[in-house]
Amino acid sequence: MSASLPSGGFANDNSSAWYLPADLLERAAETDLSTDGLLALLAFFRLLGSPEEGSQAVRRDALVEALQAPLFRLDTVRLQSALEEAQAAGFLMLFEDVLLAGTPRGKDLLLQLQAGAITSDQLKVVSHLPAPERPNIFRLYEANIGPLTPMMAEMLKADALEFPAAWIEDAVGEAVERNIRNWRYVRAILKTWKEQGRAEKPKQTEGYLDKYRKLYEDQRRRKKHD
């Protein structure tokens, strides 16, 4: 019987540390928190855990931006409902324009803010989304081309040294857009850009794309003769 693996799953084995309340799942279940409400909490704690250690609060606008980003994609109505639900359950607490966690530490901070002992300007507040991590060449290959073999890994290492990371990401995007999921085609794009230069926005003309195809076909023919 041949082995098989399910499709989907996670893109990599890297871990990311978020500090969540130990009873988050139990409390969310007790209050029948909706999926959107839970997403709002996860987005909040994800922001609270980055980019600086010791962050105490999250700017409401930053959380709204996170929930509207491609990762969560909540529309305005769902977003507002999720935030109101999380606040009504006491999981998030709003003071002025910052949100605090409904934890003992967060409640203590809220009391100090309400008493005027401290101001929100004195808090370490996350005000914007962290810059997205650029996927490395191996993750790009596995996500868009196919399973990684030892021979292909060596080729990718060489290409990562030869071409800028931004070019590689854009070239993979071009190949995927044209449904030519082959690294030799990606490499043909990269070689064309290296030899002839590239504009800020790739030229979307047939003549320009023909150069990719011709170089790709030349590479295929050379491989057959090797």
Give the mean model confidence (pLDDT) for residues 32-47. Answer: 92
The full set of domain ranges for the chain reads 24-126, 137-225
d(CA 131, CA 172): 21
d(CA 216, CA 226): 16
Sign of CA dihedral 46, 64, 103, 107: positive
What does the longest C-alpha to C-alpha distance in the chain come to?
A: 80
**Could you tell me if 176 and 153 are in contact, meaning their C-beta atoms sit under 8 angstroms apart?**
no
pLDDT in tens, 80-98: 999 999 999 999 999 999 9
**Could you tell me if 153 and 141 are in contact, meaning their C-beta atoms sit under 8 angstroms apart?**
no
User: Which of the residue ranges 9-18, 73-82, 159-168, 189-198 would you say has the lowest mean pLDDT?
Assistant: 9-18
Q: Which residues contact 62 (CB under 8 A, 6 or more apart)?
A: 47, 126, 127, 128, 129
Residue 44 main-chain phi, psi, to 5 deg = -60, -50
pLDDT in tens, 194-223: 888 876 444 444 455 666 666 666 666 666
Looking at the domain 24-126, which fold is it? Arc Repressor Mutant, subunit A (1.10.10)
151 pLDDT above the threshold of 50: yes
